[in-house]
């Protein structure tokens, strides 16, 4: 007999069965039943657990793998995706040097060459416009991180990052400086916060005096503004990020399906 779906992930009765099973598996991920990088039960075990066919479970897992929620390893099983995985760790970074032109070339190689310079990390009260996007109350504690990314000795990205203070207790500039990998891998390993998808708004802007000084460009120089809202399981927003990109030798690359 199929399991009854909890209210938090309930879907309409006309939803395909594999989608309902996908919702149940995601609910288990959200509840922390399986941690980032850990193996989830086999398709046969999940089929028995939910009272459905193995084919239905496989279709649910196929869709989750396509969305990079899980990673399949040949002969080993299926694992919860982590930003420590080479194929996942830079999937939100779209900055590519001009010489990379072939569609099949991987972005990770150049991403790994970006050098991070942390400028600030401070805890403060969330203004209304940030609180609204992160589904917080104005005045709630938040953490603001500012950093530069350098490529070949030149600053190319100025990032302002805002995080809910309740989820990132104890996050300091010193802790960020001690870790060498991507922020998202650190966030999931240390705070159990998994960034699984993001929405972005992109527009052209002119550099003001502050950003021009940090990015070493003239005031009024054209920059690409990329505002990203990142979500964890259950479509909960957990990070707001605004990046200013200097694109004289890089471009912003996306893949559309």
Give the DSSP per-residue string, 185-241.
Answer: HHHHHHH-----EEEEEEEEEE--HHHHHHHT--TT-EEEEEEEEEEEGGGEEEEEE
Same domain? 199 vs 231: yes
As to burial, measured by CB atoms within 10 angstroms (0-12 exposed, 13-18 middle, 19+ buried), residue 144 is middle
Which residue from 66, 89, 82, 84 is spatially nearest to 18, judged by alpha carbons? 66
The reported pLDDT for the residue numbered 108 is 44
Residue 87 lies in a domain: no
The reported pLDDT for the residue numbered 12 is 45
How far apart are alpha carbons 103 and 87 in whole angstroms?
A: 16
Number of residues written out for the chain: 257
The reported pLDDT for the residue numbered 121 is 97
The reported pLDDT for the residue numbered 5 is 43
Residue 216 lies in a domain: yes
Which residue from 34, 64, 39 is spatially nearest to 196, judged by alpha carbons? 64
Residue 218 lies in a domain: yes
Same domain? 216 vs 239: yes
Residue 86 lies in a domain: no
Last residue of one domain, picked from the residues 40, 57, 80: 80
Residue 88 lies in a domain: no
Which residue from 57, 6, 58 is spatially nearest to 27, judged by alpha carbons? 6
Same domain? 61 vs 106: no
Same domain? 108 vs 190: yes
Same domain? 75 vs 99: no
* 3 backbone φψ class: left, alpha, beta (φ>0; ψ -120 to 50): beta
Residue 213 lies in a domain: yes
Same domain? 142 vs 22: no
- Checking DSSP bridges between strand 154-164 and strand 236-245, what pairing results, if any? antiparallel
Rg (alpha carbons) of the chain, rounded to whole number: 20
Same domain? 42 vs 165: no
Residue-wise burial string across 189-213, b where 16 or more C-beta atoms lie within 10 A, e elsewhere: beeebbbbeeeeeeeeeebeeebbe
Query: Any bridge partners for residue 145, and if so which?
Result: 121, 161
Identify the domain containing residue 57 by its residue range. Answer: 7-80
Same domain? 23 vs 128: no
CATH assignment at residue 22: 1.10.10.10
Q: Per-residue pLDDT tens, the chain, 257 aa: give them.
A: 344 344 344 444 578 899 999 989 988 888 888 888 889 999 999 999 999 999 999 999 999 888 888 888 888 899 888 765 544 444 566 677 776 555 444 444 444 478 899 999 999 999 999 999 999 999 999 999 999 999 889 999 999 999 999 999 999 999 999 987 788 888 988 898 988 888 999 999 999 999 999 999 999 999 999 999 999 988 899 999 999 999 888 888 776 65
> Alpha helices, DSSP H only, in the chain?
17-30, 43-50, 54-66, 108-111, 128-133, 173-178, 183-191, 209-215
Domain count of the chain? 2
Same domain? 65 vs 113: no
How far apart are alpha carbons 47 and 30 in whole angstroms?
A: 19
The reported pLDDT for the residue numbered 94 is 64
Residue 229 lies in a domain: yes
How far apart are alpha carbons 251 and 98 in whole angstroms?
A: 6
The answer to whether the CB of 89 falls within 8 A of the CB of 184 is: yes
Residue 27 lies in a domain: yes
How far apart are alpha carbons 120 and 178 in whole angstroms?
A: 14
Same domain? 74 vs 100: no
């Amino acid at each position: 007999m199929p399991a009854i779906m909890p209210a938090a992930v309930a879907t309409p009765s006309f939803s395909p069965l594999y989608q309902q099973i996908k919702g149940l598996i995601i609910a288990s991920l959200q509840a922390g039943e399986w941690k980032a990088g850990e193996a989830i039960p086999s398709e046969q075990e999940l089929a028995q657990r939910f009272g459905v066919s193995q084919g239905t479970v496989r279709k649910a897992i196929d869709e989750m793998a396509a969305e990079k929620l899980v990673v399949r390893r040949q002969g080993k099983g299926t694992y919860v995706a982590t930003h420590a995985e080479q194929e996942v760790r830079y999937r939100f970074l779209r900055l590519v040097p001009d010489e990379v032109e072939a569609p099949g070339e991987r972005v990770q190689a150049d991403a790994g060459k970006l050098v991070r310079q942390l400028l600030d990390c401070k805890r403060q009260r969330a203004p209304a416009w940030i609180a609204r996007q992160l589904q917080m109350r104005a005045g709630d504690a938040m953490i603001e991180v500012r950093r530069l990314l350098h490529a070949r000795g030149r600053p190319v990205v100025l990032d302002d990052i805002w995080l809910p203070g309740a989820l990132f207790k104890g996050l300091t500039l010193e802790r960020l400086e001690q870790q060498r990998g991507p922020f998202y891998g650190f966030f999931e390993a240390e705070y159990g916060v998994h960034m699984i998808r993001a929405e972005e708004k992109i527009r052209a802007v002119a550099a003001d005096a502050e950003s021009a000084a940090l990015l070493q460009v003239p005031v009024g120089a054209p920059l690409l503004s990329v505002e990203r809202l990142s979500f964890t399981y259950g479509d909960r927003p957990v990070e707001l990020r605004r990046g200013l990109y200097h694109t004289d030798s890089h471009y912003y690359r996306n893949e559309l399906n």
